[in-house]
Structure 1
Amino acid sequence: MSNQQIIAATQAWLNSFVIAYNICPFAKREQQRNRIRYRVEHGNSIESCLNTLIDECIHLDTHPETETTLLILAEFFDDFDDYLDLLAIAEQLLIDQGYEGVYQLASFHPHYRFADSDETDPANYTNRSPYPMLHLLRESSIENALATYPDPAGIPQRNIELTRRLGMKKLEEILRACFESASSAGDA
């Protein structure tokens, strides 16, 4: 798929799932303000992905109008365990590069599975996405958003209950539709 199609699938997921079901109550505002950056990484090594991650930190440092970056790993890290290894290294890299307390990572993957969950638990979909992703967030923005949001601690449990109510079939349909919309984006 082209970068345009990969981004289109990611945007479709953001709109049809994350925003439509209020999985992240802060995403809609940033999407409407066009403050989400989408960066596609085609590298096939941990090193290339980490270099791009630091490039995105630098971009956020120098572009305060960009609120957050979704770093989409298009061709590597399809294996969830490999992805988790990358995530651990990426989190340590942020600390080593002086970004602790400045940025944090949220993790999304097509095969996301919480450590204590069954593969078929719909709750895993709270962190499932069309492609492996590292979501780079500004810590100060998270703190500000959480300070004004009623019951931020309840968000994960609400999402778990919601995804279980929706069920696996519906969640699989939502994710599949993201790729279908991306295919049409490439035809345009």
Structure 2
Amino acid sequence: MNYKISTFVLFLALVAFAIYHFSTIKNENANTPANEDLVEVKADENGSSHLDKELSSYFADQLANGVDSTLGNFINFDTAKAKLDSIRDYRGKNPGNSQIHNSYGYIFGLQKMRELISRIDKINMAQDTVDLTGVRVYRTISKVRGKKYFDVFMIAVTKENKDFPDLKNPDLKKDFEGEEPILNFSAPCPDQCK
């Protein structure tokens, strides 16, 4: 496996997750990021919006055959700039909870990214019953020096679209000898991304 490409793909997945989570974008034309407008999305009594339902269906269809190890796409400079500008604009209009540092980007070192991929590769080689084909990025809240900030962690995902290890089922906790395929504690952006 080419670690430079894998690391870059993981980084792009992380950026895409942050952008998706923080913004609600109405995509007029998928090929022209300049046409993306921010829209107000109203939630129903269950906390779900029409956008949540539309996206859930889209992503369910995309993952219907399992998590393909080629999932994701590269984007060009102009698209990346438009996406970054949209989240900055969104954050300017929606500052969020003043008790939590509202990050929109997350930095991980390449060595840690390579180590995550190495841990995933070791599990794939050692276990015949599991096929790890992706990495899921969860948004979470971390704490440093008593201060909370939005953060993310990355965890291995099976072809069947299940976290590995399954965090929702502690009875299935695996013993990885301290090498779980879960990476956390990024440097948040802002302010660590100039």
Q: Structure 1-normalised TM-score? A: 0.27
Greater RCO structure (CA 8 Å; 6+ sep): 1
Normalized per residue, the structure richer in strand is 2
Normalized per residue, the structure richer in helix is 1
- Report the structure number with the largest CA radius of gyration: 2
